[in-house]
């Protein structure tokens, strides 16, 4: 464990990404302590006010304080991405592990299904499903997005499992009478942990991108604030044409920071895994 932590400590890009995402999470968690999030409700303030001392990021056409709305929306957006990433990784990781370990017919079925689903335009399926949901919530949004976020973890974990099961230490474990679920839990999973972490970051990034895309089309949770829904309402009421930059710029900046953090973590994880591969080789 200490060796892994030392490797992580040397990856400055990974640390920077984790720090940025951690700061955004803290804003979402601690923001309500310093900002009155009740002002994020419709009609609680005067509409279309530019930034001033009372409203640091101004107000929107619906009478919301933009700063309060941003603080309320940030944790909901992160929640959707994390839930969808966890669900996608859980399903994809399990399928990838089964395909790589069992091989044979199981591998053919799982691999073929993942390859077929990957050819289907994800946004078209997500739009079709979202438009037929009566009431969209944050949790349901995460489930819908996760439905098309499991293929990449499946392929990544399957490939690594196929590689690991051919190594000498796996053969030695089998000769010592270790097999089945015990072999998977004690020998394969510990060595797959870094790849699960990398696949989780990819799954969260994919889920966040799909979520923001759906919400920008107005297919997100109508009764809950997210960064994507803030953009939708800004677009719906013509914030750009009206010159209300304080309405659309903050959610855009927050989304950009989230993706910058995810990109940095992904790049750092990739460098870390490559370093581990070179050392193992």
133-165: burial string, b at 16+ Cβ within 10 Å, e else: eeebebeebbebbbbbbbbbbbbbbbebbeebb
CATH number at residue 198: 1.10.3720.10
CA distances to 84, 102, 152, 160, 196 from 96, in Å: 17, 10, 9, 9, 11
69 is a domain residue:
yes
Structural domain of 120: 14-31+56-280
What the block records as the tokens of 45 is: 């303030």
Helix (H, G, I), strand (E, B) or coil at 201: helix
- What parts of the chain have a pLDDT lower than 70? 1-9, 275-281
Q: Which of 194, 183, 178 is nearest to 280 (CA)?
A: 194
Read off the pTM.
0.86
39 is a domain residue:
no
pLDDT at 276: 56
pLDDT at 119: 85
50 is a domain residue:
no
CA atoms within 13 A on the CB side of 173: 18
CA distances to 16, 18, 152, 273 from 7, in Å: 14, 14, 25, 10
* Model pLDDT for residues 115-149, shown as the tens digit of each residue: 988 888 777 877 888 888 878 888 888 888 888 88
Number of domains in the chain: 1
pLDDT at 175: 74
36 is a domain residue:
no
131 is a domain residue:
yes
pLDDT at 73: 94
């Amino acid at each position: 464990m200490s060796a892994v932590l030392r490797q992580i400590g040397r990856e400055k890009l990974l640390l920077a990404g984790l720090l940025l995402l951690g700061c955004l999470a803290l804003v979402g968690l601690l923001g309500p302590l310093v900002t009155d999030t009740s002002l994020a409700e419709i009609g609680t303030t005067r509409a279309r006010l530019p930034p001033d001392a009372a409203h640091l990021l101004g107000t929107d056409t619906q009478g919301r304080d933009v700063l309060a709305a941003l603080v309320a929306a940030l944790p909901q957006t992160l929640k959707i991405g994390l839930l969808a990433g966890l669900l996608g990784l859980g399903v994809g990781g399990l399928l990838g592990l089964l395909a790589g370990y069992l091989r044979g017919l199981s591998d053919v079925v799982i691999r073929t299904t993942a390859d077929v689903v990957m050819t289907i335009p994800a946004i078209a399926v997500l739009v079709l499903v979202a438009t037929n949901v009566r009431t969209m919530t944050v949790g349901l949004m995460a489930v819908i997005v996760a439905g098309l976020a499991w293929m990449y973890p499946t392929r990544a974990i399957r490939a690594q499992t196929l590689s690991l099961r051919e190594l000498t230490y796996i053969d030695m474990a089998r000769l010592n009478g270790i097999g089945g679920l015990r072999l998977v839990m004690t020998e394969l999973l510990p060595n797959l942990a870094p790849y699960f972490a990398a696949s989780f970051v990819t799954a969260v990034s994919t889920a966040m991108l799909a979520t923001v895309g759906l919400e920008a089309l107005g297919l997100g949770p109508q009764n809950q604030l997210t960064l994507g829904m803030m953009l939708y309402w800004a677009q719906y009421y013509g914030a750009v044409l009206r010159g209300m930059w304080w309405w659309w710029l903050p959610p855009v900046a927050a989304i950009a920071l989230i993706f910058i953090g995810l990109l940095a973590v992904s790049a750092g994880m990739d460098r870390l895994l490559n370093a581990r591969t070179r050392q193992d080789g």
